C-alpha cells in the first residue's frame, strides 16, 4: 500500500504516519524499510500490545504527528485517514485540498474494486457503496444531515482535529468506538463544523474514489456488518440519541432513523422473502395455502397497497441498477436483484449477532471488542489502472512540456505505446523515461556499481531465467534479494523468480542501456570465475 500510493498520489507536500503495534515486528520492519527509501513515511508505534480498537491506534498516530511537528517546526493543515488496504486515487489530495477551503470535514468517495460478477458477496458491497456514494451521502449533506465518515478518505482541517482533541483530553477518536468514522461525523456536526461530501465522478473512465477489496465470503461479510450494526446503530443510539441539541434536530432524527431501521427492517425483509417464496410456490402449483378470508381480493385497499408497494419496489431496484451501472457497467448491474436477496440474509444475521453481543455487553457478561475483517490488497497488475498518467509525471519532472504530452496522447499511432512514441520522436531520453516509470509504479531506480557486486549473486537465479526476464540480482540484505530489471515486475515474473529462492524480492528499475552495460560486466565476472 505504501509503495503504490507514494508513487500514485499526484501531490507533493504530505507526510505519512503509519500506526503499528509494538507486538507486530513484521509490520514494523516493512514500514521502516519503506521509510528508509522515502523520508515522508514515519512509524507511529502504539505503546501497548494490539490489536485494539482502530480508534485507539489512530489516536497514537495523532500523537506521533504532534511529535513530528514539534521536531520539524512545521504544522499539518489537513489530516486524512486511510486503511492499509486502500488504493488512493492520484487526484485525491488535490480534491481534498480544494474542498477543505470551504469545509472542515471532507469525505472522499469510497468504492469497492470490481471483481468478477460470480463473486456475489463482494458484488453486494459494490452495489451498496455505488448507491450510498453515488447519491445518498451527497443528498444527505445537501439537506443538512450530519455526514458519517467512511473510515477511509476522511479529511479533517486542523481546526477540527484540535477541537476534538481539546474536548476529549487529547483523543481525537473515541477509543471504545467500534465505528469511529460514524461517531466522528456526528461529533463534528454537533460541534458546528462544516461537512462536505466530494461528488463521485469519473476520470478517464475510472471513478475518482478510494478503492479497496471488501470481504468476499458471506461469513467475513457477516462479521464486518455485525460491527457496523453494533457501532452505527446501537452504540450511536446510546451516545447520541436522536439528534437533540444538534442543528436541524428533525433532519438528524430522520437520518438516525434511516441508519437504524435495519435493526428491525432486515429481519422483516427475510420474513418477506420467505413469504414471497411461499406465494410463488402456491401460485405455480395452483394450490392455496392460505384461508379464504386471507385473500387480498376480498379487501380492495390491500390490493391498492400491494400495487403501490410493488411500484416502489420496482423503482428502488431500477435506481439501484442505474447507479451501479454507472461505475461497474450494465452487465454487472443486472445482478442487483439477486444480490439484494443475498444482502437481506447477510444483514439479518448481522443484526441478530449484533443484538446478542450488545445484550451480553449491557448486562456485563462480555465486553464489546473489535472484530477484525480480513482484507486483500490488489496485485501489481490490477493496480496499473490506478496509476498517475506517465505524461503527467514526465511534465512534473521537467522532462516533457504539457503541449508535447498532449500531442503524444492525441497523435500517436495505435500500434505504438506512449513510451515508445516518446522515444521514437526523441522527446525524452531513455533515462528520463525510466525515471518516470519508477515514479509511476513506486519502484526505486537501481543505482549500484557492477564491479562491486559479489560474484556469488550472479548464481542466485539460472542464466536462462535472468536473460528471459532481464534481471540482475545485486544485493542480498535482511532476508531480501535486491534485483535490478528493465521490466515492470508483474505477477508471472514474481511467481517464477519466487520458485527459485526463499528470499523476499525487492525490485529496482534500470534503463536498458545501463542494464546491458552492468550485465556485460557481471556476467563476464561470472564466467571468469567458472
- What digits encode the pLDDT tens for the residues 276-299? 888 778 777 766 666 666 666 677
**154 Cβ contact list (under 8 Å, min separation 6):** 80, 81, 105, 106, 107, 108, 181, 184
Among 129-133, 290-294, 371-375, 521-525, top mean pLDDT goes to 129-133
If one compares 173 and 280, the residue with the highest pLDDT of the two is 173
Average pLDDT rounded to a whole number, residues 301-319: 90
- Percentage of the chain beyond pLDDT 70 is 94
**Average predicted confidence (pLDDT) for the chain:** 88
pLDDT at residue 386 above 90? no
Average pLDDT rounded to a whole number, residues 61-89: 94
Q: pTM of this prediction?
A: 0.79
pLDDT at residue 528 above 50? no
The predicted pLDDT at position 107 comes to 97
What CA–CA distance (Å, rounded) separates 190 from 467? 63
If one compares 390 and 21, the residue with the highest pLDDT of the two is 21
Average pLDDT rounded to a whole number, residues 166-179: 85
Residues 423 and 433 sit within 8 Å (Cβ to Cβ): yes
pLDDT in tens, 16-58: 999 999 999 999 998 998 898 889 999 999 999 988 888 999 9
Residues 59 and 19 sit within 8 Å (Cβ to Cβ): no
* DSSP secondary structure letters along 408-459: HHHHS-TTS-HHHHHHHHTSS-HHHHHHHHHHHHT-PBP---GGGS-GGGGG
What CA–CA distance (Å, rounded) separates 355 from 27? 34
If one compares 203 and 332, the residue with the highest pLDDT of the two is 332
The predicted pLDDT at position 103 comes to 96
What's the 3-state SS for 52-117? CCHHHHHHHHHHHHHHHHHHHCCCCCEEEECCCCCECCCCHHHHHHHHCCCCCEEECCEEECCCCC
What CA–CA distance (Å, rounded) separates 74 from 65? 10
The predicted pLDDT at position 153 comes to 95
Average pLDDT rounded to a whole number, residues 128-157: 94
Joined grid coordinates for residue 98: 480544494
Of 3.90.1140.10, 3.30.300.30, 3.40.640.10, 3.90.550.10, the CATH number of 2-117+134-214 is 3.90.550.10
Q: What are phi and psi of 130, to 5 degrees?
A: -60, -40
Q: What is the DSSP letter of 293?
A: G
The predicted pLDDT at position 480 comes to 83
What CA–CA distance (Å, rounded) separates 296 from 44? 64
What CA–CA distance (Å, rounded) separates 98 from 92? 10
The predicted pLDDT at position 394 comes to 87
Residues 511 and 431 sit within 8 Å (Cβ to Cβ): yes
What CA–CA distance (Å, rounded) separates 211 from 378? 10
Joined grid coordinates for residue 281: 410456490
Confidence of residue 530 (pLDDT cuts 50, 70, 90): very low
pLDDT at residue 261 above 90? yes
pLDDT at residue 529 above 50? no
If one compares 100 and 448, the residue with the highest pLDDT of the two is 100
Cα end-to-end distance, the chain, whole Å: 42
What CA–CA distance (Å, rounded) separates 505 from 398? 31
What CA–CA distance (Å, rounded) separates 353 from 168? 30
Of 3.30.300.160, 3.30.470.30, 3.30.9.10, 3.40.50.1950, the CATH number of 450-529 is 3.30.300.160
Strand partners, 481: 476, 505
Residues 434 and 509 sit within 8 Å (Cβ to Cβ): yes
- Percentage of the chain beyond pLDDT 90 is 50
Average pLDDT rounded to a whole number, residues 205-212: 90
Helices then strands, each counted (H, E), the chain: 23, 13
pLDDT in tens, 218-253: 999 999 999 999 999 999 999 999 998 899 999 999
Average pLDDT rounded to a whole number, residues 353-369: 86
Confidence of residue 524 (pLDDT cuts 50, 70, 90): low
Amino acid at each position: 500500500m505504501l509503495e503504490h500510493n507514494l508513487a500514485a498520489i499526484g501531490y507533493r507536500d504530505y507526510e505519512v504516519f503509519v500506526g503499528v503495534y509494538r507486538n507486530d515486528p513484521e509490520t514494523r520492519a516493512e514500514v521502516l524499510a519503506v521509510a528508509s527509501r522515502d523520508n515522508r513515511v514515519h512509524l507511529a508505534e502504539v505503546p501497548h500490545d494490539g490489536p485494539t480498537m482502530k480508534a485507539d491506534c489512530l489516536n497514537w498516530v495523532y500523537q506521533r504527528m504532534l511529535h513530528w511537528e514539534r521536531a520539524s517546526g512545521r504544522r499539518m493543515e489537513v489530516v486524512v485517514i486511510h486503511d492499509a488496504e486502500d488504493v488512493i486515487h492520484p487526484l485525491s489530495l488535490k480534491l481534498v485540498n480544494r474542498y477543505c477551503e470551504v469545509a472542515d470535514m471532507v469525505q472522499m468517495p469510497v468504492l469497492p474494486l470490481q471483481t468478477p460478477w460470480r463473486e456475489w458477496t463482494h458484488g453486494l458491497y459494490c452495489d451498496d457503496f455505488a448507491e450510498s456514494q453515488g447519491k445518498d451521502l451527497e443528498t444527505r449533506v445537501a439537506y443538512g444531515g450530519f455526514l458519517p465518515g467512511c473510515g477511509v478518505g476522511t479529511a479533517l482541517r486542523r481546526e477540527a482535529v484540535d477541537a476534538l482533541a481539546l474536548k476529549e483530553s487529547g483523543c481525537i477518536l473515541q477509543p471504545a468506538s467500534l465505528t469511529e468514522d460514524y461517531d466522528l461525523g456526528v461529533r463534528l456536526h454537533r460541534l458546528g463544523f462544516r461537512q462536505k461530501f466530494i461528488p463521485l465522478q469519473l476520470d478517464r473512465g475510472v471513478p475518482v474514489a478510494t478503492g479497496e477489496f471488501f470481504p468476499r465470503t458471506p461469513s467475513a461479510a457477516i462479521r464486518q456488518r455485525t460491527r457496523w450494526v453494533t457501532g452505527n446503530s446501537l452504540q450511536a443510539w446510546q451516545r447520541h440519541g436522536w439528534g437533540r441539541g444538534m442543528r436541524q434536530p428533525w433532519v438528524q432524527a430522520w437520518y438516525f432513523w434511516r441508519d437504524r431501521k435495519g435493526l428491525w427492517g432486515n429481519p422483516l425483509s427475510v420474513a418477506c422473502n420467505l413469504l414471497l417464496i411461499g406465494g410463488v410456490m402456491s401460485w405455480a402449483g395452483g394450490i392455496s395455502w392460505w384461508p379464504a378470508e386471507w385473500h387480498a381480493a376480498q379487501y380492495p385497499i390491500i390490493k391498492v397497497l400491494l400495487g403501490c408497494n410493488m411500484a416502489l419496489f420496482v423503482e428502488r431496484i431500477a435506481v439501484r441498477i442505474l447507479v451501479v451501472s454507472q461505475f461497474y457497467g450494465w452487465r454487472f448491474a443486472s445482478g442487483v436483484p439477486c444480490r439484494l436477496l443475498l444482502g437481506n440474509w447477510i444483514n439479518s444475521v448481522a443484526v441478530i449477532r449484533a443484538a446478542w453481543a450488545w445484550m451480553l455487553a449491557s448486562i456485563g457478561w462480555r465486553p464489546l471488542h473489535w472484530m477484525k475483517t480480513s482484507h486483500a490488497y490488489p496485485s501489481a497488475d490490477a493496480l496499473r489502472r490506478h496509476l498517475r498518467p506517465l505524461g503527467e509525471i514526465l511534465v512534473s519532472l521537467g522532462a516533457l512540456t504539457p503541449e508535447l504530452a498532449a500531442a503524444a496522447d492525441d497523435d500517436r499511432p495505435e500500434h505504438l505505446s506512449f513510451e515508445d512514441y516518446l522515444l521514437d520522436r526523441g522527446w525524452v531520453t531513455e533515462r528520463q523515461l525510466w525515471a518516470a516509470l519508477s515514479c509511476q509504479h513506486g519502484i526505486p531506480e537501481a543505482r549500484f556499481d557492477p564491479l562491486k557486486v559479489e560474484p556469488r549473486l550472479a548464481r542466485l537465479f539460472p542464466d536462462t531465467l535472468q536473460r528471459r526476464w532481464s534481471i540482475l540480482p545485486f544485493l542480498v540484505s535482511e532476508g531480501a534479494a535486491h534485483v535490478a530489471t528493465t521490466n515492470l515486475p508483474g505477477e508471472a515474473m514474481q511467481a517464477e523468480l519466487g520458485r527459485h529462492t526463499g528470499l523476499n524480492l525487492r525490485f529496482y528499475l534500470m534503463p536498458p542501456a545501463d542494464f546491458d552495460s552492468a550485465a556485460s560486466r557481471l556476467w563476464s565476472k561470472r564466467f571468469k570465475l567458472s
